[in-house]
Amino acid sequence: MKWQDNAGFSLIELLAVVGIFMLLATISVIAWGSFGPTMALNGAAEGLGDSLELCMHKAATQKNEYFVLLNYRKTPYRTQDRMTLQFPANSYILADDDGWDPPVCGSGTGSGTRQYNLHTMYNGDAPEFRADWIPDDPNHSVNWRNNNLIESREVFRGPIRLGKGVFFQTIESITNTPARIVFSYRQPSMYWHGQNIPTNRPIASSERREEPVKIYLSDIRYKPGVTSKDNKAHLRVVRVTAQKVEVYRPA
């Protein structure tokens, strides 16, 4: 007797396979809804921590100052070279605060070299520094270099967005909510100020805060004002000192 080989699948078998795929897709959606925001929050916190460590390292090795500008809301920023930059909400900027005329191959006409001495640091009569002199500019009375302000070419990286569904949080007072965190090769090697100080002017010596600073990030499931342990699971803290940067989940 010869058996007939019927190729293909029956309708019941096809329906069973489709049902399995639908079940797996449902489970995946539920799992992503539970763990997706946490993964995004962890990634944003670690990314901000890495950026702060990068600025700390560059300030020390390049004998310069770098700072991080935190944008809690959409903000237009008027730079020192009279350009307006649009900074989106929940983003941050890394600034190379060198105040130096860039080379000809860049956007300026200067040598692009830095001279670390008293002349260049304090607006002395150094030929390499004259390109940055603007006698009528208010910065002539302070250091054009390392003045805590941004020229358009001093944007080292950014704006860097925290990511979809991740936000800066104001947990403490406005005074204790950081706006600019500065890393320097001089003392103090790290200082910052709260959101009560405008970011469009240099930081006065009396406004410099040298104690550790905390930056709070949350995901879309965080409920402001709720102090339960479950709610704090949707919060991350980036703690910055002059020596290190820590990222952790509050207890």
The separation between CA 207 and the C-alpha centre of its own chain, rounded to angstroms, equals 21
| pTM score above 0.85 | no
Instruction: Write down the pLDDT at residue 140.
Output: 39
pLDDT tens-digit series, residues 44-96: 999 999 999 999 999 988 888 899 999 999 989 988 778 899 999 999 999 99
- Nearest partner of 87 among 79, 164, 218, 43, judged by Cα: 79
> What are the extents of the domains in the chain?
38-98+146-248, 100-145
Confidence of residue 5 (pLDDT cuts 50, 70, 90): low
204 secondary structure, DSSP code: P
Buried-state track 84-111, b at ≥16 Cβ within 10 A, e below 16? eeebeebbbbbbbbbbbbbeeeeebebe
Q: What pLDDT sits at residue 206?
A: 87
Q: What is the dihedral of CA 78, 82, 84, 89, to 10 degrees?
A: -30
At 95, which amino acid appears? A
Phi then psi for 102, rounded to 5 degrees? -70, 165
Q: Which CATH architecture has domain 38-98+146-248?
A: 3-Layer(bab) Sandwich (3.55)
How far, in Å, CA of 220 to CA of 235, rounded? Answer: 10
Tokens for 172, please give them. Answer: 């403490």
Q: Give the pLDDT mean for 155-168.
A: 92
pLDDT for position 101: 47
State the average pLDDT over residues 144-162.
85
Per 3-state DSSP, the chain is made up of helix, strand and coil in percentages (nearest 5) of 30, 25, 45
Mean pLDDT of the chain: 78
